[in-house]
């Protein structure tokens, strides 16, 4: 019980709070520096995926026009996949 009281008293001390804040800030900066390249790479990968999907869709549409291919309406699974893809693309 005494240890908890000591800890509470330390937390009321502004100097202790500033030290804790400083330590937290330092930890945040370290983590930010570490993960900034990961976030940039993730963004670049998503952009490449988006570009590839768009290019593929354009190619499919062109092939359909060139072959006069008439497609049946999309199945339930295809509609679900399209919705998920749109959701993913909007998150970019």
pLDDT per residue over 27-66, tens digit each? 999 999 999 999 999 999 988 988 898 898 888 888 878 8
What are the extents of the domains in the chain? 2-68+77-91
- How far apart are the C-alpha atoms of 60 and 9, rounded to whole Å? 69
- The mean per-residue pLDDT over the stretch 59-87 comes to 81
pLDDT interval class at 84 (50, 70, 90): confident
pTM of the full structure: 0.55
Q: Which residues contact 47 (CB under 8 A, 6 or more apart)?
A: 92
Query: To the nearest whole number, what is the mean pLDDT of the chain?
Result: 83
- Structure tokens, 91: 């998150």
Choose between 85 and 8: higher pLDDT: 85
| Residue 75 DSSP class | P
- How far apart are the C-alpha atoms of 24 and 18, rounded to whole Å? 10
- How far apart are the C-alpha atoms of 53 and 68, rounded to whole Å? 22
- How far apart are the C-alpha atoms of 9 and 15, rounded to whole Å? 12
């Amino acid at each position: 019980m005494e240890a908890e009281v000591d800890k509470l008293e330390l937390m009321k001390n502004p100097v202790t709070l500033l030290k804790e804040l400083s330590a937290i800030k330092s930890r945040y900066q370290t983590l930010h520096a570490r993960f900034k390249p990961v976030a940039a790479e993730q963004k670049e990968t998503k952009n490449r995926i988006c570009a590839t999907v768009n290019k593929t869709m354009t190619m499919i549409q062109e092939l359909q026009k060139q072959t006069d291919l008439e497609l049946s309406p999309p199945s339930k699974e295809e509609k679900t996949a399209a919705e998920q893809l749109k959701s993913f693309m909007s998150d970019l």
